[in-house]
Amino acid sequence: SDTIRSVCSGQVITSPYSIVKELIENALDAGASIIEIRLEENGLGKIEIRDNGCGIKEEDRPSVALPHFTSKLKNFSDLFLVNTYGFRGEAVSAICSIAKVAMITRHSSDSVAKSYMVRSDGVLSQTGTIHNNVGTTFIVTELFKNLPVRKKFYQGKKGKEQLNEIDHFIRGIAIANPSVRFMLRHNRQLVWQHASSRHLKDSMASVYGTVGDMIEINYSKEDSGVQVTGMLSTSGKSSKKPPFIVVNKRLVKFKALQKSFKKLYDNMFPSGAVCITLSPNLVDVNVEVDKSAVICRNEADLISIVEEIVGKQVLNTES
């Protein structure tokens, strides 16, 4: 169908980071409020993502890892609503084709959890019954078992970069989902945890350790349908890492806005996050391979609003 064809372009799974990202997004789509991420050897040894979401119904399990299975997309126009992260049904099946995957799940209607091995073609075999809470766990080992060059690539220095990238992603997704508790462990050590909170400020403190050098932003303009909240440092911190940008509760890449931060902060990026709420008809998030690019109608207006707020509220300039 047209739906299938239009959403199946491109490779999603190319790195340990992309596996973690896809599995976390699935956990969020399942309504999880606690997501635990356990990695070994920078994700190359093991990636385990445990959530307390709704679990997977017994009748859906045989399809979960088949190419193009998704329980999320209802029809083509849903693609333009941004309520869920998933819609292509590609991730689980792609992960199974390059790694060994085990799955444990208990749906809210089940009395026990069941564990499965997932074959590389996506076919499941049950391996046991476990007394777990409602939710789903994916355990990914033997990553890139059939792609030795890729594996070698991530065994070196690139492995550590993957861990940093994963850590950074979790901090961003925690800011976008402040009520979700995230825990990241690496080689059994707790790296970081996000204490869930209803408030962005607490989330930010948990993400950054301290927000002492940041100023809170709070702006809303009824007639333009734009609301901007967040916290930003008053001076530039790094030329590499832009602040997190969240649009309508989604962590996004917003290149044009990142550029304007650099301009405002003398060629550096501030640390912190900016959370923008727009009426949905002003924004197209995703329809991109990694679903994180944002396209705003009247982007230039939005950018000048943000520039003005940051200038006045954070940097204390009149412009």
Closest alpha carbon to 26 in 80, 84, 82: 84
Site string for ligand ADP, 4-33 (x = CB under 6 A): ------------------x---xx--x---
Strand partners, 228: 219, 276
Give just the sign of the alpha carbon dihedral 248, 252, 254, 257.
Answer: positive
Longest dimension (CA), the chain: 65
Find where tokens 């996506």 sit: 122
Cβ-contact 46, 139 below 8 angstroms = yes
Report the partner that residue 248 touches, choosing among Mg ion, ligand ADP, none (CB closer than 5 to 8 A by kind): none
Out of 91, 124, 140, 173, the residue judged to bind Mg ion by CB under 5 A: 91
Instruction: Determine the Cα–Cα distance for residues 284 and 296; give it in Å rounded to an integer.
Output: 6
Min dist CB 294 to ligand ADP, Å, is 19
Beta carbon nearer to ligand ADP, 60 or 301: 60
Query: Regarding beta strands 244-247 and 272-278, do their DSSP bridges make them parallel or antiparallel, or are they unpaired?
Result: parallel
Report residue 23 as tokens: 């599995």
Beta carbon nearer to ligand ADP, 42 or 286: 286
Beta carbon nearer to ligand ADP, 91 or 231: 91
Min dist CB 277 to ligand ADP, Å, is 24
Give me the residue whose beta carbon is nearest to ligand ADP: 86
Beta carbon nearer to Mg ion, 64 or 207: 64
Report the partner that residue 90 touches, choosing among ligand ADP, Mg ion, none (CB closer than 5 to 8 A by kind): ligand ADP
Query: For the CA atoms of 184, 186, 189, 190, what is the dihedral angle to 10 degrees?
Result: -10
* Window 61 to 120, contacts with ligand ADP (CB under 6 A): 64, 69-72, 86-93
Site string for ligand ADP, 147-186 (x = CB under 6 A): ----------------------------------------
Min dist CB 15 to Mg ion, Å, is 16
Site string for ligand ADP, 35-54 (x = CB under 6 A): ----------------x-xx
Min dist CB 179 to ligand ADP, Å, is 17
* Window 30 to 89, contacts with Mg ion (CB under 5 A): 86
Beta carbon nearer to ligand ADP, 47 or 309: 47
Beta carbon nearer to ligand ADP, 90 or 265: 90
From 24-32, 103-111, 183-191, 213-221, give the range in contact with Mg ion by CB under 5 A.
24-32
Q: Note the residues at the interface with ligand ADP (CB under 6 A).
A: 22, 26-27, 30, 51, 53-54, 56, 60, 64, 69-72, 86-93, 136
Residues that bind Mg ion (CB under 5 A): 26, 86, 91
